[in-house]
């Protein structure tokens, strides 16, 4: 399974979008919401409350 590059959620095979940058980095997005927040708006996933990165940083993750 692939994880979303912004929010960290697992994506099933055949879903989401793959974005390839000019420096050959590959980014995967589960939704247009994640894609827009990361690419267009330039937001940091650790500062957005609904992402798993933010939950890890604040110690609120559950297994």
- Rounded CA-CA distance 39/53 in Å is 17
User: What's residue 63's pLDDT?
Assistant: 53
Tens of each residue's pLDDT in the chain, 63 residues: 899 999 999 999 999 999 999 999 999 999 999 999 999 999 999 999 999 988 888 888 765
Answer yes or no: is 62 within a domain. no
- Rounded CA-CA distance 62/3 in Å is 17
Number of domains in the chain: 1
- Rounded CA-CA distance 49/18 in Å is 24
2 in helix, strand or coil? strand
Token digits for 51?
A: 């992402």
User: Is the separation of the CB atoms in 3 and 28 below 8 Å?
Assistant: yes
Domain that holds residue 25: 2-57
Give the CATH number of the domain where residue 25 resides. 2.30.170.20
Answer yes or no: is 39 within a domain. yes
User: What residues pair up with 28 in beta bridges, in sequence order?
Assistant: 18
Answer yes or no: is 52 within a domain. yes
């Amino acid at each position: 399974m692939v994880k979303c590059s912004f929010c960290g959620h697992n994506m099933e095979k055949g879903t989401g979008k793959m974005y390839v940058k000019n420096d050959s980095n590959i980014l995967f997005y589960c939704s247009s919401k994640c894609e827009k927040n990361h690419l267009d708006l330039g937001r940091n996933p650790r500062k957005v409350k609904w992402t798993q990165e933010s939950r890890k940083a604040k110690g609120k993750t559950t297994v």
